[in-house]
Each structure stands twice: as C-alpha cells, then as structure tokens.
C-alpha cells in the first residue's frame, strides 16, 4: 500500500463539501488557484493510520459537462491529475440529482467513494436506504456522514484508504444507454481510438460518450474531420429516432439508471410534503413579504458591517496613531530625518490604512457567510432576478453588487458565483460604481463642509443613487455592445434552509480576511509608500520666503508677557507660515508637479492642483484622498471628521466644485487594488485597463458636464 495518497473531493454545491473538507483537514489547508483559471483550489492534508492523505477540494458542480469553468476544472483535475480516489459528497436528502454527478465520475472509471452526507436530514425526511444494494448497483462503497457534527469521518477515511488499495483492480459500474445509442457508440469507438490521442487518458468509452454528447471542449480537441463527420452523422441518426439530440437522450438515460437504482433501494417512510424549509419559504419569498424581507436583510447586513465595525476602526486608528507617536519619540523633536518620515508617514500610515478596513471586511463576510450557509443567498437571487435580468444581468449578480457597497475587492471576487463569462465580466466591470465603503470618508468629509444639516442624508443618497443608475446604464450598454447575446438560463437550486455553523462562518471570514490582507493589502501598502515618496521628494531646499527667519521675527515682536490671547494669535501666525512652507514643499514634490501638470485638464471640472494631487492618492486607495487633502492643505493629521480641513475646503472650493469632487471620486479610477483584482479575476490586463480607462473617461465627461452646467446656471457657485 502507498504511504501517501491523493484524494479529490467532488460534489454538488450545498452538499456539505466544504464542511467535510474542513473536518478532514482541519487547519492544515491552504487556498490557491487552479492554473490558468480563477477557480479557487483548496488543498489540505491529513493522516489516517500510517497513510498520508492529500485532499483537494474540487469546485462544487452539478455535472461534469463543460458547462462552466468549474465543471471543466473538476473534470480536468480528475483526468489529468489522476487522484487515487475521488470522494463524491452526496446530499442524501436529495439523492437523485446528487447521484447524477456520481454517475459521471463513475463513468470516468476512477475509484469512487460515496459519502452520503446530510444523512440526518435524510432520516428526518423519512428516507431509508438499502446501502448494501445501492453500493453494489453503483459499484462504489458508501459511507454515511453528518458533516456538521463530524460523524462518519473516520469511516470515510477507512473507505478512502481501502479504495485506494484496490485501485488497480477497480471496476466501475457501467451505464447502458439503450440499444440505439449503444450501436452508435460501438460504431464510433474504434474511430475515436484511432483518431484521438486522448482516448487513453479519458477512457475510450467516456470520451466517445462525451463526443456524442456534443461536448464542445472535447470536440475542439478533435482534429480529424472523419471523426467529426461520424459524430455528426450518429447525432443526426439518433435525433431522427428520438426527436431529441443525443445529449438529451443520454442525460435521460443517466437519470433513468439513477431512478432505477433508487426505486430499488430507497424507501420513503413518511410523506413529508411540507418541510420546515418550505414553510420558511412561504414567508421569505412571499409575493408581498418577499421584497420587504429582502431589503430588511440587506439593511441588517449593512448595519452589522458598519455600525459594529466603526468602533473597531476607531481603535485601530488609535493604536496606529499611538504606535506612530512612539516611533516618532526616538528622534528629537522637529527632526527632519527621512527614515522617521518613512516609518511614521509611509509604513505605519500605510499598514494602518490597510488594517483599518479589516473589521468591515470581516463583518461583511460574516454576514455573507451566514446568508450563504443558511440558504438565503439563493432566495435573494431568486427575488432580484427579474430586476437584474432587465438590465441584462443575472439574479446572482445582485450579490456582488451589494457587496460592492462594502468594498469593491470582495465584490469582484464574488462574481465567481456567476456561470457565464458575459454575466461575470459585466458585473465585474460595473461593480466599482457601487460606491464602496472607502469612498464614504470622502463624502463624510465634504458633505458636512458644504451642505446644511438637513441636506446631509439626501446628499449621500444622491451620490449612491448616481452610482447605481450609472451601473445600470453601463451594464445595459455593455450587454448591448461588447457582451451581446443570450443571457444564461437561470436554473438555480434553492437549497433547503440550514442553521449555519460557527466553524463554517469563522473559516469563511478567515479566508476572505486573509485574502484581503494578502492581495489588496500588499498593493495598498506598496502604493502608500510610493505616495509618501511622491509627496516628499524631491525635497525643496530654497524657499520663496525665509520661513524660519520670519517665524523668529514674529516671536521676537511679541514679548512673552502679553497674555494668553496674544500668544494664541502668535501661534496661529506661526502655523500659517509653517503651512505655507509645507504647501510650497508639496508643490515642489513629484505629486505636486503632477497635480500642477494636470491642472489644465482638471479646471473644467472645477478642481485645482491640490485636488489633482489628492486624486493621485485616491488611485492608491479611495480613503487616501482625505489624508492627502489634509497634507496638501497642511492641516496635519486629517481624517473625515477634521473641522480644520473642512474650513480650508470651504475657503477654497464652491459647493458645486465639492459636489463634483464627490462625483468624480465615485465614478473614476477604481483603486489600484480593484484593477489588480479585476486583472486576476478576468485573467486579462485588457479588461482591467478597460475598466480603469472606461470609468475614468466616464467620470471626466460627467463631472465636466455637471460643473459646466452648474456654473452656467449658477447653482452652488456662491
């Protein structure tokens, strides 16, 4: 027996595959990607007796036809990597459909172990299985498990190890497709064996069946026109007999085989017509209550994310401020050390800027994990599909777009749930228009500075609304031009409601949080340091005025005993001078020069070079804009609540220009991390740059329009 075996976990979505994977591997797992595609690959290891087992979690699929990337990846993994054993996690309470995948794995001829998971639910629904006979009919060992309680895991490992030991003599059950189909298969098989190189790898029968099933990805591999013609002829022949193309006939037969096996071995003792899940659904997807409940849920998710997240954000900011203070203490006061500046302003500021969003991200993903594991997510897609379909998207697009209000990065990552590339790309490209949490500080800074109290909330709504409307328009436009074509069928399972487990939620949060730190965090940190350098260098040596001398003069002119009031006035004057010096330094720096250079372009939008400089920062990460404005206006440490900064803004900009800044920040230049993630998820720099260019152009055109129209009509110019 081998000392080390490789096991692949397959299964339908919602069969409890992740739960079983976690039970098997515990913390010894890591997440990667399948080569060349953006499907997540989870791997882990475990020991059973003296056998080392490597477990690979295949993507959850309903079938192994090449319908989606996930199916292709799962299939290719089994075929190319030849795992010693494939474990199919089956939701025993939904046996027939789950066996459809099992049957296809079976046809691949690999050693297969069936885990009848959710056996508790199956029992509660009154199903009784004759596992011995079923196991014989399917020629695969069956183990019952209850994933969330960890029951049956040891037995599953036993079965895996003994199946691996038998792999050389493994005999899979064979499905007979009926006389007519079998005749065609027999006709094609020799041709397939002769004309394709892949027959050995895939297994002759499997490959022949798949070709007859009109499997595009495999047909593309076939170069022989003779074989293609023969497949075509067989297909026509069968279509003539059955009135349906062979792929439908074959699917019918597979289900026929399954239902034959099930009638023999499954008994339903109670007629459970209305399960708890059905009862919940009559309320949750109710005609009248469905939408209100949905919106309430979304509201709750946001309350959870932001209300609970905010204090944590405050603490994190304090901790980093305190840390910065300590490090600053190592240098004498007023030191101009470049290292100090790099450490305090560049690195600590940058790391802080990354970590500060962690509470929000973790809470958001906790909410999403709860919604997903409980089964509500599918209902959300069900409820919203009609609307989303109208703008050319899929019900499932709604979820990434909603997440987009939190942060665009996870939103783009969430587009993975979409099956069609067109839907996926459209959603990905418009997702940045959902105003993310990082843009909130910008609005939070600007709105109170320029608009009266009663206008604060409506203003915020208007900004968000503009984003939503633009997203709709852009999605429609994309679907009408670049992504023309049929929308994918909305055949989506509505899984039964379940109580989510704490463990599942924590793992989900951890995964996403870590991904954020690693992927987005590193970029934000890198750019923060770069930005620090851009705003600091080159250092100005010769100033227009001799600031130190002027300060000394001022101090000399005020005798020490002239009272508190005069001392304050003195301080203010000194501050003015220092800020003027800082501003001069910034103008001289790279960022300042770029900002100045862009000014002719920015003028039509009502922006000056300072906004331009801050926008360079916003490209790194939206929230940097606020801090950058603080630096540009030399008000020191600035956050969204800084009154000093607000005063400065009021002095320098009109409400119209301020509104334009918000619109521009809303639409333009998704942050660096967004571009990086889009590049990763779309697997092409082309789409990432298209997103960057397209949105920036849109923002520019729109903002210029608003500013010019506003100026012309004298709205908000006073």
Ligand X SMILES: Nc1nc2c(ncn2[C@@H]2O[C@H](COP(=O)(O)OP(=O)(O)O)[C@@H](O)[C@H]2O)c(=O)[nH]1
- 498 near other proteins, judged by CB under 8 A: no
Piece of the chain touching other proteins by CB under 8 A; list 46-54, 58-66, 141-149, 533-541: 58-66
User: Which helix or strand (DSSP H or E) is residue 370 part of?
Assistant: helix 358-374
- 25 near ligand X, judged by CB under 6 A: no
Geometric angle at alpha carbon 640, from 638 and 644, rounded to 5°? 50
Spatial neighbors of 237 by CB under 8 A, at least 6 apart, are 184
Structure tokens at 221: 């591999």
Residue from 514, 588, 219 nearest 365 by CA: 514
Residue from 325, 488, 451 nearest 715 by CA: 451
CA distance 225 to 537: 65
CA distance 629 to 632: 5
List the interface residues with other proteins, window 590-629 (CB under 8 A): none
- 9 near ligand X, judged by CB under 6 A: no
Nearest to ligand X of 215, 373 (CB atom): 373
Piece of the chain touching other proteins by CB under 8 A; list 44-52, 252-260, 333-341, 520-528: 252-260
Among 14, 29, 408, 628, binds ligand X (CB under 6 A): 14
The answer to whether residues 213 and 246 touch, using CB atoms and an 8 Å cutoff, is yes
CB of 140 to ligand X, least distance (A): 19
- 68 near ligand X, judged by CB under 6 A: no
List the interface residues with ligand X, window 117-136 (CB under 6 A): 117-118, 120-121
- 492 near other proteins, judged by CB under 8 A: yes
Q: Which does 498 bind (CB under 5 to 8 A by kind): ligand X, other proteins, none?
A: ligand X
Look up residue 151 and give its DSSP letter: B
CB of 398 to other proteins, least distance (A): 12
- 244 near other proteins, judged by CB under 8 A: yes
The answer to whether residues 683 and 412 touch, using CB atoms and an 8 Å cutoff, is no
Among 5, 8, 10, 11, binds ligand X (CB under 6 A): 11
CB of 125 to ligand X, least distance (A): 11
Which three-class secondary structure state does DSSP give residue 142?
A: strand
The answer to whether residues 408 and 692 touch, using CB atoms and an 8 Å cutoff, is no
- 291 near other proteins, judged by CB under 8 A: yes
The answer to whether residues 672 and 621 touch, using CB atoms and an 8 Å cutoff, is yes
Burial of residue 707 (number of CB atoms within 10 Å: 0-12, 13-18, 19+): buried
Among 83, 111, 147, 346, binds ligand X (CB under 6 A): 147
How would DSSP label each residue in 364-430?
A: HHHHHHHHHHHTHHHHHHHHHHHHHHHTT--GGGHHHHHHHTT-HHHHHHHGGG--SHHHHHHHHHH
Structure tokens at 631: 């630096």
The answer to whether residues 398 and 384 touch, using CB atoms and an 8 Å cutoff, is yes
Among 312, 455, 490, 700, binds other proteins (CB under 8 A): 490
- 547 near other proteins, judged by CB under 8 A: no
- 387 near other proteins, judged by CB under 8 A: yes
CA distance 233 to 255: 25
List the interface residues with other proteins, window 200-229 (CB under 8 A): 213-214
Nearest to ligand X of 148, 435 (CB atom): 148
Among 416, 498, 540, 679, binds ligand X (CB under 6 A): 498
Q: Which does 18 bind (CB under 5 to 8 A by kind): ligand X, other proteins, none?
A: ligand X
CB of 52 to ligand X, least distance (A): 24
User: Which helix or strand (DSSP H or E) is residue 174 part of?
Assistant: none
Q: Residues for the chain: how many in total?
A: 718
CA distance 119 to 696: 53
Ramachandran class of 118: left when φ > 0, alpha when ψ lies in -120 to 50, beta otherwise: left
Q: Is the CA virtual torsion 191, 193, 194, 195 positive or negative?
A: positive
CB of 495 to ligand X, least distance (A): 8
Among 149, 166, 386, 503, binds other proteins (CB under 8 A): 386
- 152 near ligand X, judged by CB under 6 A: no
Which three-class secondary structure state does DSSP give residue 574?
A: helix
Piece of the chain touching ligand X by CB under 6 A; list 12-20, 197-205, 460-468, 478-486: 12-20
Q: Which does 291 bind (CB under 5 to 8 A by kind): ligand X, other proteins, none?
A: other proteins
Spatial neighbors of 585 by CB under 8 A, at least 6 apart, are 539, 540
- Nearest-10 Cα torsion for 560, 565, 566, 569: 130
Piece of the chain touching ligand X by CB under 6 A; list 142-150, 236-244, 612-620, 630-638: 142-150
CA distance 685 to 572: 50
Which three-class secondary structure state does DSSP give residue 146?
A: strand
- 500 near ligand X, judged by CB under 6 A: yes
- 382 near other proteins, judged by CB under 8 A: yes
CB of 131 to ligand X, least distance (A): 16
CB of 491 to other proteins, least distance (A): 5
Q: Which does 117 bind (CB under 5 to 8 A by kind): ligand X, other proteins, none?
A: ligand X
Nearest to other proteins of 488, 708 (CB atom): 488
Which three-class secondary structure state does DSSP give residue 73?
A: helix
Nearest to ligand X of 13, 245 (CB atom): 13
Q: Which does 694 bind (CB under 5 to 8 A by kind): ligand X, other proteins, none?
A: none
Nearest to other proteins of 62, 532 (CB atom): 62
- 373 near ligand X, judged by CB under 6 A: yes
Site mask, ligand X, residues 186-225, x = CB under 6 A? ----------------------------------------
- 247 near other proteins, judged by CB under 8 A: yes
The answer to whether residues 346 and 354 touch, using CB atoms and an 8 Å cutoff, is no
- 264 near other proteins, judged by CB under 8 A: no
Among 57, 107, 281, 585, binds other proteins (CB under 8 A): 281
Q: Which does 11 bind (CB under 5 to 8 A by kind): ligand X, other proteins, none?
A: ligand X
How would DSSP label each residue in 8-71?
A: EEEE-TTSSHHHHHHHHHTT-EEEEE-TTS--EEEEEEEEETTEEEEEEEPPP-S-SSTTSHHH
Interaction site with other proteins (CB under 8 A): 62-63, 65, 67, 93-97, 100, 213-214, 243-244, 247-248, 251-252, 255-256, 278, 281-282, 285-288, 290-291, 378, 381-387, 389, 395, 486, 488-496
Interaction site with ligand X (CB under 6 A): 11, 13-19, 60, 117-118, 120-121, 146-148, 373, 498, 500-501, 504
């Amino acid at each position: 027996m081998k000392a080390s075996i490789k096991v692949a976990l397959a299964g339908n979505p919602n069969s409890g595959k992740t739960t079983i994977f976690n039970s098997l591997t515990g913390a010894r797992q890591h997440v990667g990607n399948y080569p060349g595609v953006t499907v997540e690959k989870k791997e882990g290891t475990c020991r059973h007796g003296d056998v080392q087992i490597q477990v690979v979690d295949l993507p959850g699929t309903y079938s192994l036809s090449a319908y989606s990337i996930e199916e292709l990846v799962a299939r290719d993994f089994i075929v190319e990597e030849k795992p010693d054993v494939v474990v199919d996690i089956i939701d025993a309470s939904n046996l027939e459909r789950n066996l459809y995948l099992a049957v296809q794995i079976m046809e691949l001829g690999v050693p297969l172990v069936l885990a009848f998971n959710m056996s508790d639910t199956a029992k509660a629904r009154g199903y009784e299985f004759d596992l011995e006979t079923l196991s014989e009919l399917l020629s695969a060992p069956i183990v019952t498990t209850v994933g969330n309680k960890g029951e049956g895991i040891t037995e599953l490992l036993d079965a895996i190890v003994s199946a691996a030991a038998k792999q050389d003599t493994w005999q899979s059950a064979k499905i007979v497709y009926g006389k007519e189909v079998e005749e065609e298969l027999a006709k094609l098989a020799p041709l397939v064996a002769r004309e394709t190189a892949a027959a050995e790898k895939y297994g002759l029968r499997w490959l022949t069946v798949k070709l007859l099933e009109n499997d595009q990805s495999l047909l593309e591999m076939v170069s022989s026109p003779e074989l293609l013609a023969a497949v075509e002829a067989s297909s026509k022949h069968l279509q003539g007999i059955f009135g349906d193309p062979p792929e439908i006939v074959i699917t019918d037969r597979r289900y026929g085989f399954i239902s034959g096996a099930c009638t023999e071995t499954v008994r339903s003792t109670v007629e459970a017509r209305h399960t708890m899940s059905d009862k919940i659904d009559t309320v949750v997807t109710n005609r009248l209550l469905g939408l209100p409940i949905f919106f309430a849920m979304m509201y709750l998710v946001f309350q959870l994310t932001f209300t609970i997240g905010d204090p944590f954000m405050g603490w994190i900011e304090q901790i980093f401020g305190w840390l910065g203070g300590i490090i600053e203490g190592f240098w004498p006061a007023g030191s101009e050390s470049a290292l100090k500046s790099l450490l305090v302003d560049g690195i600590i500021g940058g790391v802080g800027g990354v970590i500060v969003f962690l509470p929000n991200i973790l809470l958001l993903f906790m909410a999403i994990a709860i919604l997903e594991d409980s089964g509500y997510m599918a209902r959300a897609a069900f409820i919203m599909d009609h609307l989303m379909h109208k703008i050319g998207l899929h019900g499932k697009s709604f979820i990434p777009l909603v997440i987009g209000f939190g942060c665009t990065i996870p939103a783009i990552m969430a587009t993975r749930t979409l099956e069609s590339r067109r839907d996926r790309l459209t959603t990905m490209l418009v997702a940045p228009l959902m105003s993310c949490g990082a843009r909130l500080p910008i609005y939070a800074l600007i709105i109170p500075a320029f608009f009266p109290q009663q206008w604060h909330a409506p203003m915020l709504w208007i900004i968000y609304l503009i984003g939503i409307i633009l997203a709709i328009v852009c999605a429609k436009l994309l679907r009408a031009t670049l992504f023309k074509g049929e929308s994918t069928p909305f055949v989506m399972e509505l899984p039964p409601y379940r109580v989510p487990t704490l463990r599942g939620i924590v793992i989900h949060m951890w995964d996403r949080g870590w991904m954020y730190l690693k992927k987005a965090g590193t970029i934000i940190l890198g750019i923060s340091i770069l930005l620090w350098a851009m705003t600091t260098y080159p250092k100005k040596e010769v100033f227009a005025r001799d600031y130190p001398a002027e300060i000394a003069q001022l101090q000399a002119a005020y005798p020490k005993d002239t009272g508190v009031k005069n001392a304050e006035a003195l301080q203010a004057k000194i501050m003015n001078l220092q800020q003027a010096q800082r501003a001069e330094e910034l103008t001289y720096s790279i960022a300042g020069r770029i900002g100045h250079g862009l000014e002719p372009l920015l003028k039509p939008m009502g922006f000056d070079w300072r906004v331009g400089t801050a926008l360079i920062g916003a490209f790194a990460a939206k929230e940097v804009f606020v801090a950058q404005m603080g630096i540009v206006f030399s008000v020191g440490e600035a956050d969204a609540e800084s009154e000093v900064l607000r005063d400065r803004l009021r002095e320098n900009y009109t409400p119209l220009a301020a509104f334009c800044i918000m619109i521009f920040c809303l639409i333009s230049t998704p942050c660096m991390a967004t571009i990086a993630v889009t590049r990763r998820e779309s697997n092409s720099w082309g789409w990432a740059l298209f997103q960057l260019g397209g949105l920036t152009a849109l923002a520019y055109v729109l903002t210029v329009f608003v500013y010019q129209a506003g100026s012309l009509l004298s709205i908000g110019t006073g």
